[in-house]
Structure 1
Amino acid sequence: MKSYIYIYCFLLVVSIIKTSAQECNNDIHTGEGTFYDGVAGGVFGNCSLPVATGDYMHCALNNIDYDSSNACGSCIEVTGIKGSVILNVVDRCPECASGDVDMTMDAFAMIAEVIDGRVPISWKFVPCETMLNGETIKINFKEGSSEFWTAIQFRDINHAISKMEYQLPDNTWKNTNRELYNFFIETSGIPSPMNLRITSILGEELIFENIVLNLNEDFDTGLQFSTPEECNQILSIPELNTSGEIMLYPNPTSSIIHLTENARKWKLVNSSGKTLDQGFGKEIDISSYSNGIYYLLLEEKKTMKIVKR
């Protein structure tokens, strides 16, 4: 009975605080797009974030926009002559000029011809929600962390994190330094259990209480940063009818997805660029595919992302 009471006392209690006003992070950046091998299948990128084997929808940002690792874990939408693609920022390109994005060849092929090698692009930060598939924020403690030296990383974030703080015994909050390799470090250590507060680039705050230091596995907070309606990148169906652009709906979906115009030639590919289906018309059935991200290549050289849930 004593053991049961001890464990219960340290169950996580999570609270959320939202600022009264959030700002959209939708400035348009311009530069050049290039490609490299990427870091799929490990934690080799400068952001120290795990990238699954076969996941080529990621990129490296130039030093300026990498912003001392503040961009790590965020998502950007890159647009080139062939179309657009959404990528997760997991790496840094030290030799790239301001505005440049170095992406995998698979991603590059969706916005330009690979043979071109270096092309003009525009891009902006977007929510990661379509890539996360409902995942909530995870807390990772770096190997070697203890109550005397503590290194913390946040994974599966919808928006970039601008600040992390931890609560002191007097209930005030202390800001924590973030290293180039994307860990918040407190060199004097943070006693466990701890209360942590993170702030998104849009200004939203989340508080995680009674977090116990654990080097064996990430802790799932069960919470995620939100996106203000005016910043949301997913258009509603009424907007589709008035935009005059080719759009897909509903997106995300679990079965049939519709194009807003008839008689249109398309090709459906997975995140690795493999062709899964192709056809001619305004309805695409994706019910037989597993949950994840797919891309629709249109005859107008436009690329559109589909989220299967």
Structure 2
Amino acid sequence: MRKKINIGFILIVLMMFCSVPQTSAAYNDWHNGYATYTGSGYSGGAFLLDPIPSNMEITAINPRDLNYGGVNSALAGAYLQVEGPGGKTIVYVTDLYPEGPSGALDLSPNAFRKIGNMKDGKINIKWRIVKAPITGRLTYRIKEGSSRWWAAIQVRNHKYPVMKMEYNQDGKWIKMEKMGYNHFVSTHLGTRSLKVRITDIRGKVVRDTIPKLPKYGTSQAYTVRGSIQFPD
């Protein structure tokens, strides 16, 4: 009888332990991994951030770190401080490194050269998210094919990675789905200008207004200037 009670008690303790929510890593924690280098990512990257200046230091990122917090492409457009055996630098996340394990980055050659020896081809690194070295306000890329019936909207020029976007319809905030190609998507967005609410990786929230969408699907993507920026 005593043995059964002990087993039952152990099971209860285990169940209580398993039910405790696991704490996620902080957004700006250091990540350990390796870096390789590639000349791609400046045009046609997975996150549709073109055009990207040819002299910019950029990187592709592994899928696990990309989708931070379970959000698709959470770190798309982020800026990372990367440290290697030869120094440190800051890179812009523009593409996916599909075969890379957790912690791995595929840097542009100009970035790799600053932190390691090109002859090595692969070096140990650590990196973390930092505030983007940008100025000005948010901008929005409205993807081709967007209309009042279906739209894909990308947030650009943000100080920290964007995790969530909502729009207001009849006093209700409606969450848009973030896609792997770094756009927020929804349907039946209405005929008026869009009041949007945007949340970054730190939980900071800003509100802005996007001019009303085309009646019919736009044949080309276009960009809209925002009126707000995330606080430091």
TM bucket normalised to smaller: 0.7 to 0.9
> Distance in 2 between the 1:202 and 1:93 partners?
24
Which of 208, 218, 222 is equivalent to 2:223? Answer: 218
Residue ranges of structure 2 left out of the alignment (5+ in a row): 1-25
Query: What aligned pairs does 1:279-298 form with structure 2 within 5 A after superposition?
Result: none
- State the aligned residue count: 197
Cα offset, 1:220, TM superposition = 1.2
For residue 203 of structure 2, what is the aligned residue in structure 1? 203
Which of 86, 99, 119 is equivalent to 1:82? Answer: 86
The AA in structure 2 aligned to 1:167 is: N
Cα offset, 1:225, TM superposition = 1.2
Residues 137 and 228, structure 2, Cα contact 8 Å, conserved in 1: yes
Give TM-score, length-normalised by structure 2.
0.81
- Tell me: CA distance 1:29–1:106, structure 2 relative to 1, closer, same or farther (3 Å): same
For residue 69 of structure 1, what is the aligned residue in structure 2? 73
- Tell me: CA distance 1:210–1:124, structure 2 relative to 1, closer, same or farther (3 Å): closer
The AA in structure 2 aligned to 1:31 is: G
Please report the RMSD computed on the Cα atoms of aligned residues, expressed in angstroms: 1.5
Residue ranges of structure 1 left out of the alignment (5+ in a row): 1-23, 228-309
The AA in structure 2 aligned to 1:75 is: Y
Deviations 1:237-276 (A, max 9, x none): xxxxxxxxxxxxxxxxxxxxxxxxxxxxxxxxxxxxxxxx
Any idea what SS the aligned residue of 2:213 has?
A: coil
Any idea what SS the aligned residue of 1:26 has?
A: coil
- Tell me: CA distance 1:210–1:31, structure 2 relative to 1, closer, same or farther (3 Å): closer
Report % sequence identity: 29
Residues 141 and 222, structure 2, Cα contact 8 Å, conserved in 1: yes
> Distance in 1 between the 2:193 and 2:175 partners?
17
For residue 179 of structure 2, what is the aligned residue in structure 1? 179
Deviations 1:159-215 (A, max 9, x none): 00110111121x1211111110011111x2312311111001111111113532265
Give TM-score, length-normalised by structure 1.
0.61
Query: What aligned pairs does 1:104-183 form with structure 2 within 5 A after superposition?
Result: 104-128=108-132, 130=133, 132=134, 134-169=135-170, 171-183=171-183
> Distance in 1 between the 2:136 and 2:91 partners?
16
Residues 38 and 58, structure 1, Cα contact 8 Å, conserved in 2: no
Cα offset, 1:61, TM superposition = 0.5
Cα offset, 1:66, TM superposition = 1.0
